[in-house]
Amino acid sequence: MPTPPPNHRAAPGGERDYRPGQYFGLTFAISWVCYAVAAVRSHSVTGDLMEDPLISAGMIIGLFGPLIAAAICLAGRANRPIRRDFKSKLLDLRRIRKGFWPVALLGYPALITVAVLVSLPFGGSVDQLALSTKFSIVEGAVGLSWLIAFTAPALEELGWSGYGIDALRGRGPLIRPILLFGALWSAWHLPLFFVKGYYHANLLAESPIYALAFLAGVVPLTVITNWIYYRNGRSIIMAVVFHAVVNVSSEAFMVTNSTKTVLYGALTLVAALLIVCDRPFFWSRGPGSGSGVGRSGKMVSCRKD
């Protein structure tokens, strides 16, 4: 069967190509507009920001951006093959390799421990490994912060892993779309740095270096997340689990922002080691390489274990 043209027109058999431009355009438009509204409004209200309906609506709808965009791109009869693939990625537990559970559940907490230990000679304290008494994703809203920590990964990954990363697959090595996705995912967070009282805004207020470290750290985190995703047969569940562990661990421990910059360095080192040690995976070529999916939505298994 000939390779589908890169202009995203209908593929042979009536199947429709993935549409990365449409998907990421919609995602950024939905999320950025909503976050911008919340950001502007957050600087004109006092008290509990999330009690303001405009702010809460903006933050919630913005969080749904990747999923809403995926739903739009998956709509229509022509996209049935990709919808079937999405359903399988979400529900088929046979995709998951048991050996990856420790990686998904314990990998990030282990890196936090390493970062804390590295920080000790520079004035850090082992007390950073104690459980935090408050959750501060949203300042002054502990319950909402816990809710965001658990639900945000699911909402994001249903869009990112459900459609986004596979939409970027081409005929080149898998590392290219993964790094591109990392840059896009990092940029998606930018408006959050201007929502008063939100985690990202507090980072920026404390130091621009911490904000830049966070944005840079998203890229190696993307490499690791998608390595887990593809190595588990493109299981959305595994991507959600790892993403949730990252979010919860980041707030559950009393790790300082300076130590988190060390953590992002550790993430970069792990991502680099994965790329070097699993070269057949990251440098595999062709539509759907690395247990991926062809741009027409058909499964193509190219795993090299």
Q: What angle do CA 13, 15, 17 make, to 5 degrees?
A: 135
Task: Indicate which residue of 8, 15, 157, 189 is catalytic.
Answer: 189
- Catalytic residue selected from 156, 200, 243, 251: 156
Distance CA 221, CA 190 (A): 17
In contact, 270 and 155? CB cutoff 8 Å: no
Q: How far apart are CA 63 and CA 99, in angstroms?
A: 31
Please report the DSSP string for 42-95 in residue order.
HTS--S-GGGSHHHHHHHHHHHTHHHHHHHHHH-SGGGHHHHHHHHHHHH-GGG
- 51 as an active site residue: the answer is no
Distance CA 255, CA 252 (A): 9
Active site (annotated) includes residue 189: yes
Dihedral sign computed on CA atoms, order 156, 159, 164, 166: positive
Query: Can you tell me the distance from the alpha carbon of 282 to that of 295, in angstroms, rounded to the nearest whole number?
Result: 18
Q: Which residues are catalytic?
A: 156, 189
